[in-house]
Amino acid sequence: MSASIVLLSGGLDSTVCTAAAVRDHDSVLALSFDYGQRHRLELEAGAVVARHYGIGQLVVSIDASRWGGSALTDPSIAIPEPGAEGIPATYVPARNLIFLSIAMGVAEARDADAVVIGVNALDYSGYPDCRPEFVESFRATAALALKRGVEGRPVAIETPLIDLGKPDIVRLGVELDAPLHLSWSCYRKGPTPCGDCDACQLRAKGFAGAGIPDPALDAP
């Protein structure tokens, strides 16, 4: 009997990641964050994906907009046009560090063996906290922080997408029958994806590369 916590934002990557967690574990709890993101539809998509799989979902609120610093949480910072150099304005300071830390707390409190996160290094939008070296380092730090680590049974961190580019993620999603039509990637408010932002363009590149139409765009 293996139990896991999967970080589910409701985007393409985390939806495919949830499909992998459901494949690999007997019991899965989805963990989502309400961090004041302006793309609220992502949060709703996460709830719908969890319901699709019949798994529980824990939504933890942290109001990152109170300290700001990102175009995703501060309405006064514009969503950048795609193709900008360096770390983009959609970077949320310490986001994955915070999310993984809370996931570790939830995993330990609920005696889960693993945390599953959909970070991927190839098409990672330039965020430093999506890189494999960050995940490796976090793993060691968490083992030192947790009671389970001290007891010699650290919580595993699984990254089933870490070596995949966006087209491979789309292919894996199709192979696992993931509900890609329910996922939401766009950084903007909706009600339909803008098609322009980095997240929309990466997603489009993924489906185009896989030679598969995006089922979210076919929805009425």
Coil vs helix vs strand at 179: coil
Q: Rule CB under 8 A: which of 98-127 touch a second copy?
A: 98, 100-102, 104-106, 108-110
56-64, 157-165, 168-176, 209-217 -> range binding a second copy (CB under 8 A):
56-64
76 C-beta neighbours (distance < 10 Å), count = 6
CA separation for the pair 205, 166 (Å, rounded): 7
- The one among 3, 48, 58, 174 contacting a second copy by CB under 8 A: 58
Site string for a second copy, 74-103 (x = CB under 8 A): -------------x---xxxxxxxx-xxx-
Q: Rule CB under 8 A: which of 137-176 touch a second copy?
A: 137-138, 140-142, 144-147, 149-150
- The one among 3, 47, 48, 62 contacting a second copy by CB under 8 A: 62
Which residues are 104's β-sheet partners?
none
Is the CB of 73 or the CB of 183 nearer to a second copy?
Answer: 73
Please say whether the dihedral angle defined by the alpha carbons of residues 148, 152, 158 and 163, taken in this order, is positive or negative: positive
Nearest CA to 148 among 116, 99, 115, 109?
109
C-beta separation of 43 from 10 below 8 A: yes
Q: How many residues bind a second copy (CB under 8 A)?
A: 45
Query: Rule CB under 8 A: is residue 46 a binding residue for a second copy?
Result: no
Is the CB of 20 or the CB of 92 nearer to a second copy?
Answer: 92
C-beta separation of 116 from 5 below 8 A: yes
Phi/psi class of residue 86: alpha, beta or left (left: φ > 0; alpha: ψ in -120 to 50)? left
Binding region for a second copy (CB under 8 A): 58, 60-64, 66-70, 87, 91-98, 100-102, 104-106, 108-110, 128-129, 131, 133-134, 137-138, 140-142, 144-147, 149-150
